[in-house]
Amino acid sequence: MAEVKKEFPQGFLWGGAVAANQLEGAYQEDGKGLSTADVSPEGIMYPTSEDPAKLNLYHDGIDFYHRYKEDLALFGELGFKCFRTSIAWTRIFPNGDDAEPNEAGLKFYDDLFDEMRKQGMEPVVTISHYEMPLNLVKKYGGWRSREVIGFYEKFARTVLERYNGKVKYWMTFNEINVVLHAPFTGGGLVFEEGENKLNIMYQAAHHQFVASALAVKASHEINPEAQIGCMIAAMTTYPLTPNPDDVFAALEQERKTLQFSDVQVRGYYPNYMKRYFVENDIEFNVTADDEKVMREHTVDYIGFSYYMSFIATTDEEKLKEATAANLMTGVKNPYLKSSEWGWQIDPKGLRTTLNILSDRYQKPLFIVENGLGAVDKVEEDGSIQDDYRIDYLRAHIEQMREAVADGVDLIGYTTWGPIDLVSASTAELKKRYGFVYVDRDNEGNGTLERTKKKSFAWYQRVIETNGQEL
């Protein structure tokens, strides 16, 4: 049997990914307005609080706003070909509905993208990552309001124009499917007693679809060479047993995610969604103009995060034993081990996911988040021996290489949190993903000093050999 070549394409985009609100800090500097993250001291899954006495680690993050040059130099040393970050909407439009953008905010990202390029990295930019101006929530009800489409479009056009030539890879919304799981974070949604939540969540998602299509339109007009993608949290789901009921339950559960990419890649609601809306009395407003915009401006690539896989079953007993997972509760997979946060580690599931998305869309794919959140121990000599992180990443990269050999058009890989940052689901610093350790704890203590972990040299070598040496 002839050998299949297993290698990453030349020019493969190795790098790391972060989000503005999870590391920048400086939450009230240079004219920045308050965002939804600024009032989520316990993370995205929990009720919000504007109580100033409550410690909110997002406020200071890891002070990337002031230290980005030092941090980008470390990523440069790692050999990053790209770096994914987001633009804090409230640095550009502090209230969301401002007439003019805030020049100081625009300038910050100009400098940041220039510095990335200086370090040899292609910026990969999420226009909105898990935050929006708090004013848009209070005044308009977040994404439930159609008016927010216009505010987002203005924000998107402003940054697409300003950074034209500096940024080639864009994404419209981070994990757009999360609006169904964490509605405040995903859509700035706060519900009143007795409201039909599903209706509102789908209305909000619909407004985001239109807004996303308008951003795609703007991007294609401003620079046809630039690539603009969607971004979903991949939630590949297996049936617990071969019982056909479980198999179909897995398909249905997976469609809760893929419906989002289906709309953004194909430009229309698939029929299975329409049936779901009818059977669940979900009604929301869609205009003929919306449909036109969505159909005409579909994305260029599919960005996605992958941390774990899921299980579906119709067995009530099993459902009760559910294990903790990213934004969802899931049934335990007896074949997999879990992280300290209960996320089930499944490298092969990444190959499966890549193949599913590739078969479904025949579009380029970009893994824009993957990694292991773990508690790191600083040894007496100051070193951090994070072999568990190396093992996790190695196993996933091996499966990516297999998927590329399967024929998947994979353009890049950015690990989540190459430098420790505040977690999204629990707003803590104890859960670390980085190759670079940051001295700051859950109570907000620490010098913020940066230290390379053992995984730093390992990932550096992976990039140097284009994924041949793991």
User: Which residues are at the interface with ligand BGP (CB under 6 A)?
Assistant: 19, 22, 130, 174-175, 233, 305, 326, 369, 373, 416, 423-426, 431
Q: List the structure tokens of 323.
A: 């294990």
Which of residues 83 and 130 has its CB atom nearest to ligand BGP in the complex? Answer: 130
- 130 or 276: CB nearest ligand BGP: 130
Q: Select 153 or 369, whichever has its Cβ closest to ligand BGP.
A: 369
Residue type, 444: G
Q: In sequence order, what are the residues at sequence separation of 6 or more whose Cβ sits closer than 8 angstroms to the Cβ of residue 17?
A: 83, 84, 85, 124, 368, 369, 414, 415, 416, 417, 418
Q: Which is nearer to ligand BGP, 162 or 181 (CB)?
A: 181
Closest distance to ligand BGP from the beta carbon of 192 (Å): 27
- At 343 the three-state DSSP class reads coil
Least Cα distance to 230 among 276, 197, 275, 264 occurs for 264
One of 317, 369, 379, 428 is an active-site residue; which one? Answer: 369
Q: What is the DSSP letter of 178?
A: G
Q: What are the CB-based long-range contacts (under 8 Å, 24+) for 283-290?
A: 283/199, 284/199, 284/202, 284/203, 284/206, 285/146, 285/203, 285/206, 286/206, 290/206, 290/209, 290/210
What percent of the chain is helix, strand and coil (3-state, nearest 5)? 40, 15, 45
Residue 28 contacts residue 85 (beta carbons within 8 Å):
no
Q: How far is the CB of 222 from ligand BGP (least distance, A)?
A: 26
Nearer to ligand BGP by Cβ, of 153 and 175: the residue is 175
Q: Least Å distance between CB 128 and ligand BGP?
A: 11
Is-catalytic flag, 291? Answer: no
Name the minimum Å distance from CB 459 to ligand BGP. 18
Q: Are 235 and 176 in contact (CB under 8 A)?
A: no
**349 contacts 236 by C-beta, under 8 angstroms:** yes
Closest distance of CB 23 from ligand BGP, Å: 10
Across the strands, what pairs with 206? none
| Closest distance of CB 189 from ligand BGP, Å | 17
> What value does the CA radius of gyration of the chain take, rounded to a whole number of Å?
21
DSSP string, 256-274: HHHHHHHHHHHSS--HHHH
Q: What angle do CA 18, 23, 28 make, to 5 degrees?
A: 130
**Cα end-to-end span (Å), the chain:** 25
Q: Comparing C-alpha atoms, which of 373, 239, 381 is closest to residue 305?
A: 373
Report yes or no: 347 and 335 within 8 Å, Cβ to Cβ. Answer: no
Kindly give the pairing relationship between strand 329-330 and strand 323-324.
Answer: antiparallel
Rank residues 230 and 249 by Cβ distance to ligand BGP and give the closer one.
Answer: 230
Closer residue to ligand BGP (CB): 313 or 423: 423
By C-beta, is 8 or 307 nearer to ligand BGP?
307
At its nearest, how many Å lie between ligand BGP and the CB of residue 441?
Answer: 16
Least distance (Å) from ligand BGP to the CB of residue 82?
Answer: 17
Beta bridge partners of residue 304, listed in sequence order: 232, 367
Q: Which residues are catalytic?
A: 369
